Structure 1
Amino acid sequence: MGFEFNSYSAILLLPFSQAVLFGMLLICKTGDRFKLSNLLLGVILLLIGVRIAYWMLGFAGWYDSHDAFTSFMFYFPFNTTCLIGPLIYFYFLSATNQDFRFEKKHSYHLLLPILWLVIIVGKIALDYMLYFPFPKTLNSQFGTKGPLAEVDKTLLFTLVSYGSLTYYLVLTYKLFGAYRQYAIENLSSLENLDFAWLRNILLAMGSGLILMFTYQIINWINPLTYKAEWYSYMLLGILVYYLGIKGYMFQGSNKPALYFTNGLQVEDGQSNEAKGFPDLARRMKELDQLLDQRKPYLIADLTLSQLASMMGLNSSILSRVINMGHNLNFNDFINAYRIREVISRIDNQQHKKVTLLGIALDSGFNSKATFNRAFKKQTGKTPLEYIKNLESQRKLVSNYDLER
Structure 2
Amino acid sequence: MDIISAVASVNAIIIALLLINKKGKNVSNKILIAWTFNFALHFSILFLASRAILLQPVNWGFILGIVLVAHTPFLFLYTKSLTQRNFKPDFKNLSYFGFVLIYIATFIPNLMLSQEARMELVYNKQNMDYHTFVPMITLLFCQVYFLIRTIILLINHQHRIKSEFSYEESINLAWIKHIVYGFAFIIVISFIAYGLVSAQIISIYQMDSSIIVVNMILFFYIAYRGYNQRTVYLTKEKPESGQTEIQAGENIDVPKESVADANLSEKDPRMEELISLMKKEKLYLDPELNVGDLANKLGIHSHQLSKMVNSQLNRNFFEFINEYRVEEFKKLATDPKNKHISILGLAMDAGFNSKATFNRIFKSTTGLTPSDFRAGFKF
Instruction: Report TM bin, short chain.
Output: 0.7 to 0.9
Residue 247, structure 1, aligned to residue 226, structure 2:
no
Tell me: CA distance 1:363–1:69, structure 2 relative to 1, closer, same or farther (3 Å): closer
* Alignment partner of 1:21 out of 11, 16, 20: 11
- The range that moved more, 84-93 or 71-80, is 71-80
Quickly say closer, same or farther: Cα 1:46–1:286, change in 2 above 3 A.
same
User: Aligned pair 1:211/2:189, yes or no?
Assistant: yes
Query: 1-side partners of 2:375 and 2:118: how far apart?
Result: 83
Structure 1 residue 321 corresponds to structure 2 residue 308 = yes
1:53–1:352 CA distance, 2 compared to 1 (3 A): closer
After superposition, the Cα gap between the structure-2 partners of 1:256 and 1:73, relative to the gap in structure 1 and judged at 3 Å, is closer
How far, CA to CA, are the matches of 1:21 and 1:140 in structure 2? 32
Match of 1:281 among 233, 253, 267: 267
One-letter amino acid of the counterpart of residue 37, structure 1: S
* Residue in structure 1 matched with residue 179 of structure 2 by the alignment: 201
- 1:78 is matched with 64
Among residues 169, 177, 196, which one is paired with 2:147 in the alignment?
169
Is the 8 Å Cα contact of residues 162 and 213 (structure 1) preserved in structure 2? no
Tell me if the contact between 1:34 and 1:251 (Cα under 8 Å) persists in the aligned partners: no
Deviations 1:274-307 (A, max 9, x none): 7xxxx98214333212211222111110012222
Give CA-to-partner distance per residue, 1:175-213, whole Å, 9 cap, x none: 111121123332212233464421100110111123324
Shift of the 323–231 alpha-carbon distance from structure 1 to 2, 3 Å rule, reads farther
The farther-off stretch of 364-373 and 295-304 is 364-373
TM-score, normalized by length of structure 1?
0.71
Partner of residue 300 from structure 1, selected from 287, 296, 321: 287
Q: Which amino acid aligns with 2:31?
A: L
Are the aligned partners of 1:375 and 1:382 in contact in 2 as well (CA < 8 Å)? Answer: yes
**1:375 aligned onto 2:362:** yes
* Structure 1 unmatched runs, 5+: 1-10, 142-151, 393-404
Q: Which of 1 and 2 has greater Rg?
A: 1
Distance 2:75 2:180 in 1: 8
Percent same amino acid among aligned pairs? Answer: 21
Tell me, in whole angstroms, the C-alpha distance in 2 between the residues paired with 1:319 and 1:328.
9
> For 2:82 and 2:221, how far apart are their aligned partners in 1?
14
Q: How does 1:4-403 map to 2 (within 5 A)?
A: 11-30=1-20, 31-33=22-24, 35-48=26-39, 50-51=41-42, 53-58=44-49, 60-62=50-52, 69-70=55-56, 73=59, 77-80=63-66, 81-96=68-83, 99-114=86-101, 138=116, 154-193=132-171, 195-216=173-194, 218=195, 223=198, 228-253=203-228, 255=230, 257-258=232-233, 267-268=247-248, 270=250, 272=252, 281-282=267-268, 283-352=270-339, 354-391=341-378
Q: Which residue type is aligned with residue 62 of structure 1?
A: A
Query: Which residue of structure 2 aligns with residue 148 of structure 1?
Result: none
Give the Cα–Cα distance (whole angstroms) in 1 for the partners of residues 118 and 161 of structure 2. Answer: 57
Partners of 2:219 and 2:94 in 1: CA distance = 28
Number of corresponding residues: 350
Query: What letter is aligned with 1:172?
Result: T
Shift of the 71–195 alpha-carbon distance from structure 1 to 2, 3 Å rule, reads closer
Coordinate RMSD, CA, aligned: 4.1
Change (3 A) 1:335 1:18: same
TM-score, L = length of structure 2:
0.75
Q: Quick one: distance in 1 between partners of 2:82 and 2:180?
A: 13
Find the aligned partners of 1:153 and 1:235 in 2 and give their Cα distance: 24
- SS of the residue aligned with 2:377? helix
Change (3 A) 1:308 1:223: same
- Give the aligned residue type for 2:252: N
Bigger drift between 316-325 and 344-353 goes to 344-353
For 1:212 and 1:15, how far apart are their aligned partners in 2? 17
Matched residue type, 2:228 = S
Q: 2 CA distance for matches of 1:293 and 1:307?
A: 13
Deviations 1:186-241 (CA, angstroms, capped at 9, x unpaired): 2212233464421100110111123324445x38xx84659523333222222233
Whole-angstrom distance in 1 between the partners of 2:280 and 2:89: 42
| Amino acid corresponding to residue 285 of structure 1 in structure 2 | E
CA distance in 2, matches of 1:170, 1:200: 13
Offset at 1:28?
4.1
Amino acid aligned to 1:21: N
Letter in 2 for 1:248: A
Mean CA deviation greater in 38-47 or 155-164? 38-47
Tell me if the contact between 1:82 and 1:165 (Cα under 8 Å) persists in the aligned partners: yes
SS in 2 for 1:157: helix
The structural deviation recorded for 1:375 is 2.8
Letter in 1 for 2:28: S
Q: Cα distance 1:223–1:240, how it changes in 2: closer, same or farther (>3 A)? A: closer
Separation (CA, whole Å) in 2 of partners of 1:138 and 1:280:
82
| Structure 1, 206-215 or 152-161: larger mean CA deviation | 152-161
Corresponding letter in the other structure for 1:167:
Y
Compared with structure 1, are the counterparts of its residues 281 and 23 closer, same or farther at alpha carbon in structure 2 (3 Å cutoff)?
Answer: farther
Q: Is the 8 A contact 1:173 1:202 kept in 2?
A: yes
Query: Unpaired segments of 5 or more residues in structure 2?
Result: 120-129, 237-243, 255-264
Deviates more, 1:369-378 or 1:171-180: 369-378
SS in 2 for 1:302: coil
